Amino acid sequence: MTAPPRKLSLDEWDARYAQLASAGLPEPDYGGPLRRHVLLEGDLRLRRLRFDNSAAALRLWNFLLTENQRLHAARARGEKIIGTMKDLGTVPVMAYSLPGLRAFYPDGAWWTPCLMECSDGLLQQAEQLGIDASFCPVRAMLAAFQNGEHFPRPDALICSTGAVCDDFSAIAQRLEKMGFPIVWWEMPRRRPPDAGETTCALPGNLSAPQVQVDCVREELARLGQVLSGLAGQPLDTDTLARGIREANRVRRLLAALRRAVYTSPGAPLPALELLVAEMLALHFCSDREETIGVLTDLLAEAEARLRQSQFVAAKDAVRVFWVNPVADLRAMNLLEDWGGRVCGSDYMFTHALDLIPEDLPPLEALARTALADPMVGSTLDRARRIVADCRIGRAEAAVVSRIPGASHCAREGAIIRDVVRAELGIPTIELEVPPISDAMLPTLASRLQALLETAKARR
Amino acid sequence: MQVFHTSPWVPPEWIKAHGLEPRGVWLAQDFACEPLPLAAGVCAFANAAVRLAEQQSQSAVIFTTHCDQLRRGFDAVATPPTNLDAPESCRRFPLSPSDSPRCRAVAAGGERAGVRGPSSPAVSGPQCAPKGRGFLSRLFLFNLPVTWQTPVAERIFCDELRRLGQFLIGLGGHAPTTGDLVEIMAQYSEGRRRLLAVAPWCPARAYAEAVARFHLDGSVHLPPEAGDRTASGADSVPLAVVGGPLPQAQLPLLDAIEKAGGRVVLNATEAGERSLWSAPPLGQAQLDLARLARGWLANCVDVFQRPNTRLYDWLRERLTARKVRGIVLWHYVGCDLWRAEAQPMRAAFGLPVLLLDADEAMPQRNTGRLEAFLESLR
C-alpha cells in the first residue's frame, strides 16, 4: 500500500483509493473515498485541492469532512452538544473531560463557503442578516445557525468575550438576539505584571499577573458548573486532570508532528494537511480518541518518509513561516506549487498547541493556558513568538495572511511584519486570501513568487 | 498634566482626584480633524487616537480595550522601534547607559509606566527619545470588561482603577483623599445632572458640544433656553443618533440632519447623552475602590458589552419618551460592533434605521442618504 509521497488531485485519489481498498486498507466507520464528499455533501472545493497520497492523509480528510454527520450521530445517541466559541482550545478540554458531552466550534463554519465554493449560500444569507463582507468569513456561522443545515443546534453555547475579535463578538451577539442563548465568559486582555504584582508563568514563555489568571480561573469554574449540569456529573479536580492529560496526548502528538515536518530538510507532509492536523487541537474535531488515532497515523507516515528521505516539498523549497489561517485552503497548495514550503505556523491558536501544565491544579493550569492565547495579548508578544518559531524552523521568509474583514488584521500584520524583518532580516509580506481565491490567483502568485524569489536570492 | 482618554467609561473623576487633568478626546484640539493615511480596515477614530498619542510630548493618553481597533491601536503606538544594531538583550526596546531605571523597567515590561512602583520619580522628556521609554511611560491601556453580570467583571474594573491610579501617580499625580474624591465626584455628578436636564430641548449641535466640552475639561456651558423647542421644530422629524464616537470634526453631521429636515432629540453616540452616567454614592468614611468600581461599571451602557441588553433597555426608554421616528446609526468604517446592530435595532424598536459611516472621502453621499431617509419618514 505504500507509495512514494506525492500530491494527488481528487481524480487521482479515486484510483489511489481503489488501490488502497483492494489492498485491504482498514478504515474507520467514517472512511470512504474522498469524492463522496463532493457528491453527497457538496464540498466542491476538493476538486481544486491537491492531497497527500498517504492512507494517513485519507483518514485525516475523512475525519475532517464528516464532522457534521458525526455530531448529528452523537446527538442521536443522546449526547449533549456544546457549541464553544472563540476561545480556541480551552473549553473543549473541560467538556471532553465529562461523559456524554461533545464540544465543537461553530466558528469552524468559516471554512464552509470555501469547501462548498459558496454553493452553500451562507455568506449571502449572512449578508441578508446585515453581516456583509466588511465582516470576516466567520459570518458564515450566523447563517449556519439560522438554516440548521450543517451542524446540529447545540444544547448550550459558550463564548469567550473581552479581548477577542470584534467581528466574532458582534456576530455572536447577533446569534444571541436570534434566539440562541449564550453563556459569555470574560477573557481579559493579557498584560505584563506590574511591579509588586505576583507573576504567573504561562505556556509559550509568556507571563501574566496572578490577578488575571485568578479571574480567568473563576470564569472557567463558572463554566465548569454549566458543563457539570449538562453532564449530570460534577467536573471535579480529578476528572478535569484526566481530561487535561488526554488533551496533552493530542498536543504531544501534534508537537512531534510539527517538529518532524517543519524542521526537516524537505517536507514529508504537505502544508495543507499540517494545517488541518493543527486544527484538530482545538476541539479534537468532535472526537478526542479518534483525533489521537489520526495524528498517530500522520506522525508515523511523516517519520517513515523522513527515514527514507522522501519529501512532498523538495529540500530546496523556500522555508516559509505562515501567520494566520487561510480562508481558502487552496492557498497552502499554491505556496508549494510555486516553490515554497511551510516551516512553522501561527494559525491564531498557538496556546492550543502548548502543553497544559500537569503539575498545577487543573483549573489554574487551564486558566494559564487560556491566557496564553496569542490573540488576547499584545501583538508584540505574538510577534516575539513568531520570531522564536521562525528561528526554530530556519524560516527564510514569512507570510502574514490577512483574513478578509477581520478586525485584528487591520493593525497586527504591519507590527508582526516589522518585528520579523527587524529581528530576523528575512523578507516578509502581507497578503489577503478570500474564501475562494481563484480570481485572485494572479495577485497571489505575483506576491508569493516575488517573496520566494527574494528569499532564494538571499541564499 | 493633561491625561487624554478615549472612552467615557474611564471615570474622569478618578483622574482628577489624582491631581491630573482628564481630557476626553472628542473635543480635543485638532483631534481627528485631518484626514490621515489609513491602512485597509483601520478605524479612523482609532487611528486618530494613535496620532494623538504620538504627538503628545507632555501629556498622557489612555486607550481602552473595549474594541479591537483601539486595543490594537495601542499596540501600534506602544510597539517601540526595533534596533538590530543593539545588543540582543536590548533589541526590542533599545536602551542606552544613560537610561534611567524607570526606562529600563518600562522596556522590560513593554506596556506602560505602571511597571514601576508608585513612588518612582517622573520621567522627564529629554531622558528618552520620541517614542522611546518616556513616550511609552505616558501610555496606558485600560482593560474595560465586556461582561457586566459577574463578580469577575467588577474585579477586573476595580483592578484597572487601581492600576490607573498607580499610573497617574507615576505621572506626578498623588493618591486621592476621600474628601477630594467626594468633592470631585459631586462636581461631576452635578455637571452630568445639568447636562441631562437640558437634553430634551437643547439644539443638537450645541448639546453635543456641551457634552464634549464637559468630557474635555469638566465644565458645563449650556446654551440659553430657547423656549419650546418641540413647537419650533414641529415640522421636523424627531430622530435619534446612535452609535460610536462623534468627535468635533464630525459634528457637522448634526447640522446636516437638521438641514435635511430632521431633529435630533436623542444623541446616543459614544460621548453623547449615553455617556452621562450617575455617579455611585460614596461614603465619607473610607475610599472603597470595589464599591466605586461596582457603581461605575453599573452605569456603563455600550454596544461592546455582552450581552448588550443594557444598551437596548436604555435606548428603548428614551426612544419611546421622545417619540423618535427614525434612528441614524453612526459608525466608523471598520466598526463591526455598531454595524452589526442595524438589523437588531430595527427589529427591537420597530423604527427605520439609517446606517451612516464616517467616510471622510464622501460627505456628499451621507447628505444624500440623510435627505432620502428623512423624505421617506415624512
Please give the full DSSP string across A37-99, using - where no structure is assigned: HHHHH--GGGGG--EE-SHHHHHHHHHHHTHHHHHHHHHHTTPEEEEEESSSSSHHHHHTTST
Quick one: pLDDT at residue B99?
37
Residue of B nearest to A127 (CA): B340
Quick one: pLDDT at residue B285?
57
Cβ contacts from A onto B, under 8 A: 169
Locate all alpha helices (DSSP H) within A308-430, ordered by sequence.
330-337, 362-371, 379-392, 409-424
- Tens-place pLDDT, residues A288-319: 999 999 999 999 999 999 999 999 999 999 99
User: Does the pTM exceed 0.90?
Assistant: yes
- Compute the average pLDDT of residues A93-120: 96
Give the distance between the most distant pair of CA atoms in chain A. 68
A405·B78 Cβ contact <8 A: no
DSSP B113: G
> Is residue A402 within a helix (H) or strand (E), and if so which, with residue range?
strand A397-402
Residue of A nearest to B337 (CA): A170
Mutate to test the interface with A, among B63, B91, B146, B333 (most CBs of A within 10 A): B146
**pLDDT greater at residue B285 or residue A368:** A368
Question: Which positions in chain B touch A411 (Cβ < 8 Å)?
Answer: 39, 42, 69, 72-73, 75-76
Quick one: pLDDT at residue B277?
82
Say which residues have a Cβ less than 8 Å from residue A23's Cβ, sequence separation at least 6.
Answer: A1
> Is residue B268 within a helix (H) or strand (E), and if so which, with residue range?
strand B262-268
Determine the Cα–Cα distance for residues A8 and B245; give it in Å rounded to an integer.
Answer: 53
Determine the Cα–Cα distance for residues B301 and A403; give it in Å rounded to an integer.
Answer: 30
Q: Which of A145-149, A232-236, B228-232 has the lowest mean pLDDT?
A: B228-232
CB atoms within 10 A of CB A450: 12
- Look up cell 498623588; give the residue: B174
Mutate to test the interface with B, among A159, A174, A189 (most CBs of B within 10 A): A189
Quick one: pLDDT at residue B89?
34
Quick one: pLDDT at residue B81?
63
Determine the Cα–Cα distance for residues A406 and A78; give it in Å rounded to an integer.
Answer: 37
Among A167, A219, A425, beta carbon nearest to B336: A167
Residue of A nearest to B64 (CA): A189
Quick one: pLDDT at residue B281?
62
- Tens-place pLDDT, residues A387-396: 999 999 999 9
Which of residues 75 through 94 in chain B touch A, CB cutoff 8 A? Answer: 75-76, 78-79, 82-84, 91-92
B342 at A interface, C-beta within 8 A = yes
Question: Which positions in chain B touch A423 (Cβ < 8 Å)?
Answer: 82, 84, 91-92
B131 at A interface, C-beta within 8 A = no
> Helix B68-78 and helix A379-392: axis angle, to 10°?
70
Torsional class of B323: left (φ above 0), alpha (ψ -120 to 50), beta (otherwise): left
CB atoms within 10 A of CB A178: 14
**Rg for chain A, CA atoms, rounded:** 21
Determine the Cα–Cα distance for residues A392 and A328; give it in Å rounded to an integer.
Answer: 27
Quick one: pLDDT at residue B33?
74
Among B39, B72, B335, beta carbon nearest to A379: B72
Say which residues have a Cβ less than 8 Å from residue A48's Cβ, sequence separation at least 6.
Answer: A330, A438
Say which residues have a Cβ less than 8 Å from residue B171's Cβ, sequence separation at least 6.
Answer: B1, B3, B20, B60, B113, B122, B137, B138
Interface pTM, i.e. ipTM: 0.94
- Tens-place pLDDT, residues A429-443: 999 999 999 999 999
- Residue by residue, pLDDT tens for chain B (378 residues) are 999 999 999 999 999 999 999 999 999 988 877 776 677 788 999 999 999 999 888 999 999 999 999 999 999 999 866 643 443 333 333 333 333 333 333 334 345 433 333 333 232 333 333 566 677 889 999 999 999 999 999 999 999 999 999 999 999 999 999 899 999 999 999 999 999 999 988 999 999 999 999 999 999 998 877 655 554 566 899 999 999 999 998 899 999 999 999 999 999 999 999 999 876 666 655 678 888 898 889 999 999 999 999 999 999 999 999 999 999 999 998 899 999 999 999 999 999 999 998 875 566 778 888 999 999 998
- Tens-place pLDDT, residues A117-128: 999 999 999 999
- Compute the average pLDDT of residues A211-221: 98
B219–chain A nearest CA distance, Å: 33
The three-state secondary structure class of A326 is coil
B147·A195 Cβ contact <8 A: no
Quick one: pLDDT at residue B333?
85
A342–chain B nearest CA distance, Å: 26
A415·B79 Cβ contact <8 A: yes
Closest alpha carbon to A57 in A151, A322, A49, A350: A49
The three-state secondary structure class of B64 is strand
Total residue count of chain A as it appears in this document: 459
Upstream peptide bond of A92 is cis (omega within 30 degrees of 0): no
Among A165, A173, A186, beta carbon nearest to B145: A186
Question: Which positions in chain A touch B40 (Cβ < 8 Å)?
Answer: 410
Closest alpha carbon to A160 in B250, B152, B113, B325: B152
Closest alpha carbon to A162 in B367, B153, B211: B153
Quick one: pLDDT at residue B118?
31
Query: Cα B368–B374–B377 angle (5° rounding)?
Result: 145
Question: Which positions in chain B touch A185 (Cβ < 8 Å)?
Answer: 147
Which of residues 204 through 243 in chain B touch A, CB cutoff 8 A? Answer: none
- Compute the average pLDDT of residues A341-346: 98
A361–chain B nearest CA distance, Å: 20
Determine the Cα–Cα distance for residues A138 and A375; give it in Å rounded to an integer.
Answer: 16
Contact B139, B63 (CB under 8 A): yes
Quick one: pLDDT at residue A59?
98
Mutate to test the interface with A, among B51, B68, B104, B327 (most CBs of A within 10 A): B68
B111·A192 Cβ contact <8 A: yes
Q: Check whether A4 has a pLDDT greater than 60.
A: yes
